Amino acid sequence: MNCPHAEAARNAGVIAIDPMVQDLDGETVRLRDAGVLARIDLLGVPAWTVTRHAEARQLLVDPRLVKGIDAWGLWQSGVVTRAWPLIGMIDAGRSMFTVDGAEHRRLRTKTSQALTPRRLEAIRPDIEKFTDELLDALDAARGEDGVVDLKAVFAQPLPMKVVGMLMGVDESQHAMLTRQYKAFFSMLTPQDERLALLAELDVFYTDLVREKTARPTDDLTSALILAEEGGEPLTEEEVVGNLKAMVAAGHETTIGLVLNAVRALLSHPDQLRLVLDGEVGWDAVVEETLRWDTPTTHLLMRFATEDIAVGEEVIRKGEGVVISYRAIGRDLEQHGPDADAFDITRPTRNRHMTFGHGPHICPGAALSRVEAGIALPALFARFPGLHLAVPDEEISKLPVMTQNDMAAFPVLLG
């Protein structure tokens, strides 16, 4: 029966997340105002989201919330299927991203060990070399009007080169991967195309894992294949799952970090001065950008295996919970009444939770800090007159629901 009143009552207080990302700041404030836990609608699918630092911190270590999609009531009942455009964010194959508990530790240990700050020192020179090459490419890519897209020529290829080198993905495949992930994340991609490209990527990664099984090299993919002494090796599916997660995560999120930092500095010249004069370090820029303009807007999803009370609300068994990192970064209780301001001198700038918390905390956090920590100072040293080629308001976001990504970032190199 068509009953508009019942429909309205059901929707009261539900915030529909805009797939076109037309007003990210407005949406973030609405989520924050809606409470610790907010009801959201993700393209017709209901979920909870946690919008506050303190409660997210608790939920992220709560073993009653799990990542495996089988615990989701809407999936069990067949309401959510592979036809839902966000399904690829959750049902991404068995990997450290989708498994909890002891099995999760088994899947994750080698990766997190390979990405410690100490181990990363070894690849710092490679990252510096990639950065220098891409700065040359930027110089050469200047159009007749002097405009160049900092995203396409610099911020996008750098993380791809780094994660490609780590995982042993040949350079010849980087452009293909960039294209596929762009289509994967975009809400404008029809779902059948998205499922087809995920299937193509599965074939690509499976072939890569078979090749590394036959001829191991010194990359992380080969290390994931080889068993620990006396330990159980990961299955092919598990290695493929981890590889997919690493490439997708390492690539997409770091683009956002680097570009959002540049954008924040160019639109806050006083802050840029502080760094260029050496009064505040680049690490402060990186941390404040992570807090203020998080690369990941919403992280999908965890599922309640029991009823979980949070403040006044109860997450029922089987319901899904999203972590809204952008809102969490703007938490007034955690960061003060000026949480919406970009301020690299803010005392709480390091006390953000943008990499998550608990067992699934981002294993690539140190890597992204190294990448941004090299890329940003090198960019401003090489092009001290760098500035936006269009007014800041004209930079458009990509229609990507979960990631904070822009379509292009036109700059003049000065």
Residues near ligand STR (CB under 6 A): 88-89, 92, 97, 244-245, 248-249, 252-253, 296, 299, 403
Least separation in angstroms between CB 195 and ligand STR:
12
Least separation in angstroms between CB 117 and ligand STR:
19
Residue among 88 and 157 whose Cβ is closer to ligand STR: 88
Least separation in angstroms between CB 201 and ligand STR:
6
Least separation in angstroms between CB 183 and ligand STR:
12
Alpha helices in 267-317 (DSSP H): 269-276, 282-292
Residue among 95 and 222 whose Cβ is closer to ligand STR: 95
* Distance separating alpha carbons of residues 225 and 168, to the nearest angstrom: 13
Q: In sequence order, what are the residues at sequence separation of 6 or more whose Cβ sits closer than 8 angstroms to the Cβ of residue 332? A: 32, 339
Cis peptide before 301 (omega within 30 of 0): yes
Question: Nearest to residue 375, comparing CAs of 53, 127, 49?
Answer: 127
Contact 151, 131 (CB under 8 A): no
Residue among 249 and 379 whose Cβ is closer to ligand STR: 249
Residue in this structure with the two tokens 């750098």, named with its chain if needed: 158
Torsion angle, alpha carbons of 369, 375, 377, 383, to 10: -160
Listing from the earlier edge strand, what are the strands of the sheet with 37-42? 14-16, 37-42, 45-50, 320-323, 299-304, 65-66
Least separation in angstroms between CB 202 and ligand STR:
8
Counting Cβ atoms within 10 Å, is residue 312 exposed (0-12), middle (13-18) or buried (19+)?
Answer: exposed
Pairing of strands 14-16, 37-42: parallel
Residue among 327 and 379 whose Cβ is closer to ligand STR: 327
Nearest-10 crossing angle of helices 124-141, 365-382: 40
Least separation in angstroms between CB 118 and ligand STR:
23
Least separation in angstroms between CB 128 and ligand STR:
25
Pairing of strands 45-50, 37-42: antiparallel
Residue among 209 and 379 whose Cβ is closer to ligand STR: 209
Residue among 221 and 403 whose Cβ is closer to ligand STR: 403
Residue among 252 and 319 whose Cβ is closer to ligand STR: 252
Residue among 186 and 403 whose Cβ is closer to ligand STR: 403
What is the residue type of 300? L
Least separation in angstroms between CB 256 and ligand STR:
9
